[in-house]
Amino acid sequence: MTEPQTPEKKTDATPYRSGVIAIIGPPNAGKSTLLNHFLGQKIAIVTPKPQTTRNRILGILNGESYQIILLDTPGLHKPRELLNREMVRIALDTLAEADVVLFLADAQVNKPEKLEKLGNEFAEYLRQVTCPVVLALNKVDRLDKTQLLPLMEWYADFYPFAAVLPISALHGDGADLLVDELVRLLPEGPQYYPDDIPTDATERFIAAEIIREKVFLLTREEVPYSTAVMIDSFQESVDNRPVVIHATILVEQPSQKGIIIGRKGAMLAEIRKKAVLEIARMLDQRVSLRLWVKVKKKWTSNEQILRELGLSKS
33 makes contact with Mg ion (CB under 5 A): no
How many residues of this chain bind ligand GTP (CB under 6 A)? 23
Least Å from the CB of residue 91 to Mg ion = 10
| The one segment of 48-56, 250-258, 287-295, 305-313 that binds ligand GTP by CB under 6 A | 48-56
56 makes contact with ligand GTP (CB under 6 A): no
Residue 47 touches which of Mg ion, ligand GTP, none (Cβ within 5-8 Å per kind):
ligand GTP
Find out whether 155 and 137 touch, Cβ atoms under 8 Å.
yes
The nearer residue to ligand GTP, 170 or 231, going by C-beta atoms, is: 170
94 makes contact with Mg ion (CB under 5 A): no
- Select from 20, 70, 98, 169 the one that contacts ligand GTP (CB under 6 A): 169
31 makes contact with ligand GTP (CB under 6 A): yes
Residues 6+ apart with CB under 8 A from 47: 213, 216, 217
Site for ligand GTP in 125-144 (CB under 6 A): 138-139, 141-142
H or E element that contains 92: helix 82-97
Residues 6+ apart with CB under 8 A from 125: 24, 76, 92, 95
The DSSP annotation for 215-261 comes to HHHH--TTTGGG-EEEEEEEEPP-TTPPEEEEEEEEESSHHHHHHHH
55 makes contact with ligand GTP (CB under 6 A): no
| The one segment of 30-38, 99-107, 205-213, 283-291 that binds Mg ion by CB under 5 A | 30-38
CA distances from 209 to 224, 258, 282, 299 (A): 12, 21, 12, 17
